[in-house]
Chain A
Amino acid sequence: DIQLTQSPSSLSASVGDRVIITCRASQGIGNYLAWFQQKPGKAPKSLIYYASILQSGVPSKFSGSGSGADFTLTISSLQPEDFATYFCQQYHSYPRTFGQGTKVDIK
């Protein structure tokens, strides 16, 4: 199985900060990586797929990059509604796997 390791596991940031979350795969997955945002008590929401393609309706402050085994999610200017947990997920092979999550909270 492909393991995905996110870092950091949690971070504290202020409104307006630039936030970068990394996701490392245990083997190459091409660009078959997606990012999701989840708020407490809610279902996850798709943000990015194919490593860097923004899902329809997702604001451009979110961006994704990377290929192979190393990927990043960047939030250019953190807003109050962005405080949440973020997950990466690979869909290169079965079983589909997720990173452990990165919780972004208010400093």
Chain B
Amino acid sequence: EVQLVESGGGLVQPGGSLRLSCAASGFTLNSCWMNWVRQAPGKGLEWVANIRQDGSEANYVDSVEGRFTISRDNAKNSLYLHMNNLRAEDTAVYYCVRDYNVIPFDFWGQGTLVTVSS
């Protein structure tokens, strides 16, 4: 059974940092591009970043470029999102999402809530 389990969310002050983790199981992580997608409370979906299977390429939405870093450790079946200089507008549920072969965003984790507030 495919599972993606996010962790690491919580309350952080503006300007602070947080690292999200996503534990993958039930499939071979190193065969998939992986994504982070976020959803602010009561709002729509926003793609944040993705990373190639071997970690050699990463892409980001402009609003997080330079502040967030996506990474992966295939040996640990894990995906990460390092978030620095957090802002109130980064408050959202963050989802770990798989691309499977030609199928984009085919499987989503349950999400972890990040709240940026003083």
**Chain A residues near B (Cβ < 8 Å):** 34, 36, 38, 43-46, 49-50, 55, 87, 89, 91, 94-101
B68: chain A residues at CB < 8 Å are: none
* Bound: A105/B36 CA distance, A: 28
Q: List 17 A-B contacts (CB under 8 A).
A: A34-B105, A43-B111, A44-B45, A44-B95, A44-B105, A46-B105, A46-B108, A49-B106, A89-B47, A89-B105, A91-B104, A95-B47, A95-B62, A96-B104, A97-B47, A98-B47, A100-B44
Closest to A36 in B: B105
Bound form: Cα–Cα A101–B39 in Å: 12
Residue of B nearest to A44 (CB): B108
A43 touches B110 (CB 8 A): yes
Residues 96-118 of B contacting A (Cβ, < 8 Å): 102-111
Q: A46-B106, A55-B103, A95-B61 are in contact. Are A87 and B47 (CB under 8 A)?
A: no
